[in-house]
Amino acid sequence: MAKHYVLALLHKEDGAYGISFPDYPGVISGGTTFNDAVNRGANTLVFHLQSLAEDGLEIQLPRDAPEDAIAEMTEEEFANAMPALIEIDFPGKSVRVNVSIEEGLLGQIDNAARMTGESRSAFLARAARERLRA
């Protein structure tokens, strides 16, 4: 994993914070406090990037100069925004591996993955990440 700083924009409205990332349109989150919104936003972006990597899709790196992203925004997009740089661990490319799993367990994994709308690989990667955090 490689660390990169990503520009985030936080907006306060009705006592809550929303967060978005100009380099990653559609990746949004929020929280009841500034720190909560930053933490949730970072987790949301990491999840998005990991999903791209697991699907074998190219991951766009953030701009080296956040001021370029700000300069391209309209006044309305930037209105009342609090910019922040958030350090994110970007996943590396997916690597194919060969593992042995008991067939009954593999069937359970495939069923669970299907129920969550994930591929087998995405399901196993998520399970491994959750276990490694514990």
pLDDT of 134 reads 67
CA distance 134 to 131: 5
Q: Name the CATH architecture for the domain at 96-134.
A: Orthogonal Bundle (1.10)
pLDDT (tens digit per residue) in 15-57: 899 999 999 999 999 999 999 999 999 999 998 998 888 777 8
**Looking up tokens 């490694």, which residue turns up?**
132
* 32 DSSP assignment: S
Range among 8-12, 117-121, 129-133 with highest mean pLDDT value: 8-12
pLDDT (tens digit per residue) in 49-83: 988 887 778 888 888 887 777 777 777 777 788 88
3-state secondary structure the chain: CEEEEEEEEEEEECCEEEEECCCCCCCEEEECCHHHHHHHHHHHHHHHHHHHHHCCCCCCCCCCCHHHHHHHCCHHHHCCEEEEEEEEEECCCCCCCCCCCCHHHHHHHHHHHHHHCCCHHHHHHHHHHHHHHC
3-class DSSP state for residue 89?
strand
**What are the sequence ranges of the domains in the chain?**
2-92, 96-134
pTM tops 0.95, yes or no? no
Instruction: For domain 2-92, say whether CATH 3.30.160.250 is its number.
Output: yes
